[in-house]
Chain A
């Protein structure tokens, strides 16, 4: 019973957060200097009438509150406005971009989680050895590197071996499926590796400290006293319990993944949502920027909720 309470509470929190994000989004862009009308009515001989007509057309004659309600209503219908840059609906642009981003981010994050847990566990288990020192300092170094710079370094190292820009080879016209898949994979290699490496450092450090904490628990001592093999202790007793804080921390690192995606896609010209943000900034394409910000925020909120529910599944005791 209290379990359902917990789930409902987290869902409610997520919904309120979505509303907060929508409101921030509305307020921020209303604070932008000038309105759409200021720019459009900057033609020679613009009259007061033209200005007023434009204001009515854009709904800017209404009160801020009415504008806010209209904004929420349109969002509920999936209307994010029209991009200044290519005159397409923002939602269409973003859908394409999101589909491009997802595989790259998924591969990179999966690599980071697997590799990070692996090295983190080893570092904790081989405490006070050279293995620990090496894996911790490597992880720290990758953690400290600016994402975009790491991407550039990988370009310098792998230029000529892997493609360094774009998502597909544009000269391949209607390629057979496997050729296309291989092309896509080779283009994805460097961006995904960059994301994977930046996250891997952080995850290793997190996993290591979570493991160190559980390895200090009394039940580990009991397991040892029972004469269990070290491997069994780590896998069945320590890592299982360490997964709780790890889940939470990985969820909280979603913001980093989003930030990483923006920088990495800018470096590698990957036509995803991060690149959409970059181009929207360059072109001052406010509707696009607003839409992309919204999608990024909503996805972080969503995956946080997922992490909360996974956490609950792993440890039903938590009811706050």
Chain B
């Protein structure tokens, strides 16, 4: 850490103790730890897809809607393609979309939140107004319209989801930046003549970064959900296979009336687990990192609360 933290008395200021907090949270919350391990396993599987997928992705290896067998533990889809292979590759695309879109929204939301919280005044008013409008306009229909106009492509899907999901991140970060800005060491840095850029990058950003990550993990869940929705409406790239498009194909090719439940149940279960894992990790991290959620009444019991989205400028 920089010299500015030298005089600070609060315990959780240093980077290491923050990191310690994250680790402690994960250790204390078994569920979140399990979720993190599951997500890590999924990411690893997705990265290793070309090597561990048991069958080629575009090749018919058995009968159409072939049932479960030792060679194909989850059966075959409408093109006679192995379901396990499809799921591994589909998860890869879904995760790429989830992470990339979230990265876009993290950059936008983080920037808006930091700028609004740090500069305050008119800048804050204008940016929060814009955030309010984005919050009211329903994002899925807007995504559908934008995706339909731009045409189906993975890149478009990522950008579309990314530019519509930043609002909650911006609000959480803004509130945090507002409090960090008033801390003594920031004031000292300013008194020493540090410019805005330096204060934001060296002193504010490191403090809000963990919260930014927590809010980001929650956004991954929404991004994956939205990707399956868009893919299901036929708005994803027809040449790539994501978990959403596996569901769409199975639905379109009448997997249900054929009785081929294996073509439609596993992708949904996988998406559910991914969303669940991200929500649990994000929730646990945010509980630990967002001071506004640490409400201890009557000191005997501590209630860990989820963010209550409210109204007005200081709402979370």
Contact residue among A32, A145, A210, A212 (Cβ-Cβ distance under 8 Å from B149): A32
Q: Does B27 lie at the interface of the complex (its beta carbon under 8 Å from any beta carbon of A)?
A: no
* Residue total for B at the interface (Cβ-Cβ under 8 A): 52
Q: Does A148 lie at the interface of the complex (its beta carbon under 8 Å from any beta carbon of B)?
A: yes
Q: Does A254 lie at the interface of the complex (its beta carbon under 8 Å from any beta carbon of B)?
A: yes
A266 touches B232 (CB 8 A): yes
Chain A binding surface, main DSSP class: helix
Q: Does A217 lie at the interface of the complex (its beta carbon under 8 Å from any beta carbon of B)?
A: yes
A263 touches B141 (CB 8 A): no
> Separation in Å of the B249 CB from the closest CB of chain A?
12
* Residue total for A at the interface (Cβ-Cβ under 8 A): 69
CA–CA, A14 to B116, complex, Å? 23
Q: Does A118 lie at the interface of the complex (its beta carbon under 8 Å from any beta carbon of B)?
A: no
Q: Does A53 lie at the interface of the complex (its beta carbon under 8 Å from any beta carbon of B)?
A: no
A297 touches B234 (CB 8 A): no
Closest B residue to A292 using CB positions = B141
CA–CA, A249 to B311, complex, Å? 10
Known: A17-B136, A155-B256, A254-B138. Contact between A28 and B145, CB under 8 A? yes
Known: A146-B268, A152-B251. Contact between A213 and B305, CB under 8 A? yes
CA–CA, A300 to B308, complex, Å? 20
A281 touches B140 (CB 8 A): no
Scan residues 136-156 of chain A and give those whose CB is less than 8 A from a CB of chain B.
140-141, 143-150, 152-153, 155-156
* Stretch from B47-55, B186-194, B294-302 at the A interface: B294-302
Closest B residue to A221 using CB positions = B298
Known: A147-B229, A254-B138, A258-B138. Contact between A209 and B305, CB under 8 A? yes
A245 touches B148 (CB 8 A): no
The 0/1 profile, CB within 8 Å of B marked 1, for residues 204-230 of chain A is: 011001101101111001000000000
Closest A residue to B257 using CB positions = A159
Q: Does B38 lie at the interface of the complex (its beta carbon under 8 Å from any beta carbon of A)?
A: no
> Separation in Å of the A314 CB from the closest CB of chain B?
13
B149 touches A153 (CB 8 A): no
- B185 neighbours in A (Cβ, 8 Å): none
CA–CA, A113 to B305, complex, Å? 20
Q: Does B275 lie at the interface of the complex (its beta carbon under 8 Å from any beta carbon of A)?
A: yes
CA–CA, A23 to B295, complex, Å? 42
- A149 neighbours in B (Cβ, 8 Å): 228, 247, 264, 267-268, 271-272
> Separation in Å of the B234 CB from the closest CB of chain A?
6
Scan residues 251-273 of chain A and give those whose CB is less than 8 A from a CB of chain B.
252, 254-255, 258-259, 262-263, 266-267
The 0/1 profile, CB within 8 Å of A marked 1, for residues 125-143 of chain B is: 0000000110111111110
Closest A residue to B267 using CB positions = A149
- B137 neighbours in A (Cβ, 8 Å): 17, 20-21, 24, 297, 300-301
The 0/1 profile, CB within 8 Å of B marked 1, for residues 1-29 of chain A is: 00000000000010011001100100011
Q: Does B151 lie at the interface of the complex (its beta carbon under 8 Å from any beta carbon of A)?
A: yes
Closest B residue to A215 using CB positions = B303
B268 touches A301 (CB 8 A): no
Closest A residue to B313 using CB positions = A320
A300 touches B233 (CB 8 A): no
> Separation in Å of the B74 CB from the closest CB of chain A?
16
CA–CA, A318 to B234, complex, Å? 44
B305 touches A29 (CB 8 A): no
Q: Does A172 lie at the interface of the complex (its beta carbon under 8 Å from any beta carbon of B)?
A: no
Known: A152-B251, A216-B295. Contact between A258 and B132, CB under 8 A? no
Among A31, A156, A304, chain B packs the most CB atoms within 10 A around the CB of A156
> Separation in Å of the A201 CB from the closest CB of chain B?
11
Known: A212-B303, A282-B234, A297-B137. Contact between A153 and B228, CB under 8 A? no
5 additional A-B residue pairs with CB within 8 Å, beyond A209-B308, A245-B310, A289-B144: A145-B268, A146-B275, A159-B256, A262-B140, A297-B137
Q: List 5 A-B contacts (CB under 8 A).
A: A140-B276, A205-B306, A213-B303, A259-B138, A259-B229
Binding site for B on A (CB under 8 A): 13, 16-17, 20-21, 24, 28-29, 31-33, 140-141, 143-150, 152-153, 155-156, 159, 205-206, 209-210, 212-213, 215-218, 221, 245, 248-249, 252, 254-255, 258-259, 262-263, 266-267, 277-278, 280-282, 284, 286, 289-290, 292-293, 296-297, 300-301, 304, 308, 311, 318, 320
Closest 6 CB pairs of A and B: A149-B268, A259-B140, A216-B297, A255-B138, A144-B275, A144-B276
